Amino acid sequence: MAEKMGILGRKLGMTRIFAGDGSAVAVTVVQAGPCPVTQVKTAETDGYNALQIAFEEAKEKHVTKPMKGHFAKAGTALYRKVREIRLDGPAAYEVGAVLTADVFAAGDKIKVTGTSLGKGYQGVMRRWNFKGSKDTHGCEKVHRSGGSIGNNTFPGHVFKGRKMAGHWGAEQVTVQGLEIVDVRTEDNVILIRGSVPGPKNGLVLVRKQ
């Protein structure tokens, strides 16, 4: 099996389990797969080694014609999600193989990629940790504002990258250094210690480090 194997899954929520010494361990439960391999990429043909895996079967009306042809070539059902997993060397799997939770083992160090919780439209104090204005006499209704954002006549515009109010969250995040506490193959779930990005039922990509 390739060194940096991974799998697609859904974040089901959190619970706790008890370790051998009786201590309670908070874990995140992730449904890991099943993920069929829909394409194998090699350094000779594609310039790099990778596995393309799919997750969650879909109705025909929810799949584009190009993807229908792609799945037909792989000989699999239709799926909603498709992702690539880069490998260090040639893949140990062939098209049609199915990845499940047993690609991991307890104690594995992993990284998880997902879409962070959306916080909506936020001001500069919450989004960027601005200090805010003084709450004293003469400072009226500007306590949480962003303050000055521009310059004088020259250059006469706001520089790109200026920290301002705006949409916060709902962006791709990768958290590294997480640990698999347990793998329950009968339920096809893995239990992860650490901060897993995203909301409940959010799509996550779990990869070995």
Q: How high is the pLDDT of residue 5?
A: 84
Q: DSSP label at 44? A: H
The Cα diameter of the chain in Å comes to: 73
Over the stretch 2-50, which tens digit does the pLDDT of each residue have? 457 899 999 999 999 998 888 999 999 999 989 999 999 999 999 999 9
Q: For residues 138-160, give the mean pLDDT.
A: 88
Q: How high is the pLDDT of residue 3?
A: 56
Q: Is the pLDDT of residue 171 over 50?
A: yes
The per-residue pLDDT of the chain, averaged, comes to 91
Degrees, nearest 5: CA angle 175-178-182: 140
Shortest CA distance to 10 belongs to which of 81, 96, 107, 85? 81
Q: How high is the pLDDT of residue 151?
A: 82
Distance of CA 174 to the CA centre of its chain: 6
Q: Is the pLDDT of residue 1 over 60?
A: no
Q: How high is the pLDDT of residue 2?
A: 41
Q: Is the pLDDT of residue 192 over 90?
A: yes
b/e code 125-146 from CB counts within 10 Å (16+ = b): eebeebeeeeeeeeeeeeeeeb
Q: Where are the alpha helices (DSSP H) in the chain?
A: 43-46, 65-74, 124-128
User: What is the band of 99 on the pLDDT scale with cuts at 50, 70, 90?
Assistant: very high
